[in-house]
Amino acid sequence: MLTKEATTQATDGKIPKLIGESVTRVDAREKVTGAAIFTDDMQFGPGLLFARILRSPHPHALIKRIDVSKAKALPGVKAVATGELTPGYIGLYLHDRHIFCRDRVRYVGDPVAGVAAIDEETAQRAVDLIEVEYEVLPPVLDPEYGASQEAPLLHPDLGKYTVANFIFPVAGTNISNHFKIRKGDVEGAWAKCAAIVERKYRVPHVQHVPIEPHVAVAKWDEADNITLWASSQSPFAQRNLIAKALDISQSKIEVISPYLGGGFGSKAGVSMEALAVVIASAVKGRPVKLRLTREEEFYTTFVRQGLVAHFKMGCDKDGRLLAMENKYYWDAGAYTEYGVNMARAGGYSSTGPYDVPNVKADSLCIYTNHPVGGPMRGFGMPELHSGLEQCIDDLARQIGMDAVEFRKLNCVREGDIIVTGMKMHPIGLSECIDKAAQAIGWGKKAAPRAPSKRRGKGLAIMWKAPAMPPNAGSSARISLNEDGTVTVAVSGQELGQGTFTVMAQMAAAALGVPYDWVRVAGPVDTKYSPYEWQTVASRLTWSMGNAVVGAARDARKQIVDMVAEAWREDPNDLDIVDGNVVSYKTEESKSLKDIAIYGLPKPNDEGWRGGPVLGRGSFMPTYVTGLDPETGQGPRAVVHYTTGCQAVEVEVDMDTGKVEIIRAVSAYDVGRAINPDMVKAQMEGGLVQGISTALFEALQLKDGVLQNPSFVDYRIATSSDAPHDIEAIIVEVPQDDGPWGARGVGEHPMVPTIPAIANAIYDAIGVRFESPPFTSEKVYLGMVEAGIVK
């Protein structure tokens, strides 16, 4: 439960503004205050066991034999689990992996066996005693090669896997999803183009690197009831996927998830949590804890997928885009339960936020023997926009047109028929472009701070839709306490983005109570909490917000109807303002503190009316339609798009190649900013994370083996790398189905950062690079190759 103490203004149906605030967490099971530290024994008892995992050393191999006898004989070992316990498949959109490998391994780190012991050291010694005989197979280490007929098949049974009806695997290949766009006459349009650009770009794998590593504790009792404590963005999805994989009822699994120590998508779906559950099945009645090391965190959980992208685009002499032909090869790794949907998102967003009449796009999800690709902030859009927005700059330059004017001419607007045939809803993208360009001083050259440096400006625009099934739902409950305070129950996760604060604001505004009367319950517990699909896709403000507003209005109606009956008034004449039921007709007023639980007495001691108030709300979009598998066309591909623009100014050191971000501006259309300060914080945080992937981050894979699985060799941006001057600009064009018109903006600020920086580097030194990160070494060598420096 989240308790917030704040000074508020009267709600009267408006979003309360927070003037000052402090936050204390109150758990449903125990109150945690100060710096109290609870040991494992205190929470789970002295019977807690610890698990370690034996992982594949090969990127691709058959398992010929496993001998666990020595491990089982080691004192302190309580159980050893292998693929014999996991015959079923698990996965979100595509069921393509066993919890423990059975017949083959497909990446370095694939789980082969697990050990439960009295401590981690004993468990690791037992892991080292397990003997596995492998038959090494040739790996697939490049997605373009993986899509070819020459590549070895990594999943021979692909055609037999269970798959969502909007995913299109190609049996007999390594293509687990092929999303196609066919719009207009692309071939006929090329002859009409005055300028054409063709480019190839690569984007490497990166890691989410949350401060808190993955950790889970599982207990499987004698009655086959399972409790899973997990650091998770997806408690209900975990319950569902694990239940299906183990062929048990969802009612037998309880997932409990407290606050997360960072997620960014890495803790969505199921990665390591099912391993703990399976190991616990072998030691019934005893909880088993599995905590990944930092090294494991780098390559055994989800990574951001790699991408090889081919772009071809053309415009007429006036700069109007006429055609695009783009092909995306997504390096989705060994299993693609999430990757298939990323390829789908890449398809329906393949043109970027541009109005293009003729489009051919192929977005292919490819199995490789790399770590498993999964959701990361932006869900494929940072990778897709990375090359596309550089091509847009090059095309504008080729036609002799300013990059800002080119984008304003071609960007999507309300009423446009976009790439999938969907009619675009109202958006403020052109306003975002104007505001970002003005704020960065577009068209004005500033002198570098030293003779050895060159300065440049760059800009990029973006769009992103919530990448989710058409029927992803949210629900919420609102109850009132004796003193009139309000408890909101939801299952969207708080992972630092401020969703609990926003839900409390919405509940307060819709119900009519002060903000500081509202508490948000926690931790999320699938046994007691209302359903939520997942905390992904920047959808909670919109989707869960609608559910919370519905629950608040339901509770409000119950209260108003009860009081109207007691006062013999029309409910339409009553309102709830600042925690009081008021009559606009008689000016009578009654505090909720007196009536929320016990109701109101009838005259002459003839009984009572009312009773405990419990509001319920749910939301699910019902209007997203299917798309033609051959053309990608349909009435409504997605619920909505959030759009925006980012502009940066950089300096490049000609002696070292170091790129420094001097200034940065972000402008996003968020529909309605429920909490403007938090919206701006998301813009700033996304920018810095985008800078990190643009300048520093890449998983260095050699023959399928990760070479830099630690912070010693994997560099991420710190506060010293952030620009001193960051400006966040909010544009508000309301979303028709959002609460107060709101849309999500959590992921979007990271999407255009790479191309904005790349365009600024080009403006400074006139050099393009095929792939980020734009490290000092890469930039310096690029300048040497271009003859700029010697």
pLDDT, residue 43, reads: 84
Q: Please report the pLDDT score of residue 537 as a whole number.
A: 97
Q: What is the pLDDT of residue 178?
A: 98
- pLDDT average, residue stretch 549-576: 97
| Mean model confidence pLDDT for the chain | 94
**Which pLDDT belongs to residue 6?**
30
Q: Is 747 a catalytic residue?
A: yes
Alpha-carbon distance 542 to 544, whole Å?
6
Which of 289-311 are b and which e, b meaning 16 or more Cβ less than 10 Å from the residue's Cβ? bbbbeeebbbbbbbbbbbbbbbb
Q: Running DSSP on this structure, what letter comes out for residue 91?
A: -
> DSSP assignment, residue 17?
P
E-only strand ranges, 238-333: 253-257, 288-291, 303-304, 306-315, 321-331
pTM of the model as a whole? 0.94
pLDDT tens digit sequence for 200-243: 999 999 999 999 999 999 999 999 999 999 999 999 999 999 99
Query: What is the arithmetic mean of pLDDT over 52-56?
Result: 98
Q: Phi and psi for 583 in degrees, rounded to 5? A: -105, 120
Are the C-beta atoms of 373 and 306 separated by less than 8 Å?
Answer: yes
AA identity, residue 395: L
pLDDT at 15: 57
Q: What is the DSSP string of 370-395?
A: SSPEE--TTTTHHHHHHHHHHHHHHH
Tell me the HSE value of 365 on the side-chain side, using a 13 A CA sphere. Answer: 33
694, 390 Cβ separation under 8 angstroms: no
Q: Which runs of E-coded beta strand occur in 670-780?
A: 701-702, 705-706, 725-731
| Contact between 269 and 375 (Cβ < 8 Å) | yes
64 contacts 102 by C-beta, under 8 angstroms? no
In this model, does residue 11 exceed pLDDT 60?
Answer: no
Cis check for the bond before 523: say yes or no (omega within 30 of 0).
yes
Tens digits of residue pLDDT in 76-105? 999 999 999 999 999 999 999 999 999 999
Residue 625 banded pLDDT, cuts 50, 70, 90: very high
The catalytic position among 133, 747, 777, 785 is 747
Q: What is the pLDDT of residue 512?
A: 98
Label each residue of 466-528 as H, E or C.
CCCCCCCCEEEEEEECCCCCEEEECCCCCCCCCHHHHHHHHHHHHHCCCHHHEEECCCEECCC
User: How far from the centroid of its chain's Cα atoms is residue 285's Cα?
Assistant: 35
For the segment 490-533, what is each residue's pLDDT rounded down to a tens digit? 999 999 999 999 999 999 999 999 999 999 999 999 999 999 99
Mean pLDDT over residues 29-47, rounded? 55
Over its C-alpha atoms, the chain yields an Rg (Å, rounded) of 28
The reported pLDDT for the residue numbered 29 is: 31
**Amino acid type, 445:** K
- Average pLDDT, stretch 587-606? 93
Say how far apart CA 517 and CA 601 lie, in whole Å: 25
How many CB atoms are closer than 10 A to CB 630?
Answer: 10
Q: Is 80 exceeded by the pLDDT of residue 38?
A: no
Residues 6+ apart with CB under 8 A from 16: 8, 9, 505, 508, 509, 514, 515
Sign of the dihedral defined by the CA atoms of residues 133, 137, 143, 146, in that order: negative
458 contact partners, CB below 8 Å, separation of at least 6: 393, 647, 648, 650, 755, 756, 757, 758, 759, 760, 761, 762, 763
3-state DSSP helix/strand/coil % of the chain, to nearest 5? 25, 25, 45
What confidence tier does 751 reach under pLDDT thresholds 50, 70, 90?
very high
* Residue 30 pLDDT: 32
Q: How confident is the model at residue 24 (pLDDT cuts 50, 70, 90)?
A: very low
Please give the helix or strand (H or E) that residue 453 lies within, else none. Answer: strand 453-464
**Residue percentage of the chain with pLDDT more than 70:** 95
- Answer whether residue 18 shows pLDDT above 70: no
What is the tens place of the pLDDT at every residue in 363-411? Answer: 999 999 999 999 999 999 999 999 999 999 999 999 999 999 999 999 9
Say yes or no to pLDDT of 19 above 90: no
196 Cβ contact list (under 8 Å, min separation 6): 190, 312, 313, 314, 395
Cβ atoms 756, 459 nearer than 8 A: yes
Is pLDDT of 783 > 50? Answer: yes
Looking at the DSSP bridge assignments, the partners of residue 351 are: none
Average pLDDT over residues 548-574: 97
pLDDT given at position 14: 56
Q: Could you tell me where the DSSP H helices lie in 306-462?
A: 339-348, 381-399, 403-410, 429-440
Does 52 have pLDDT greater than 60?
yes
- The share of the chain scoring above pLDDT 90, in percent, equals 93
CA distances from 471 to 45, 345, 460, 623, 638 (A): 40, 16, 32, 9, 11
Local structure of residue 160 (DSSP, 8 states): G
Question: Using one digit for the tens of pLDDT, what is the confidence trace for 142-151?
Answer: 999 999 999 9
* pLDDT over threshold 60, residue 643: yes
pLDDT of 677 > 60? The answer is: yes
Q: How confident is the model at residue 594 (pLDDT cuts 50, 70, 90)?
A: confident
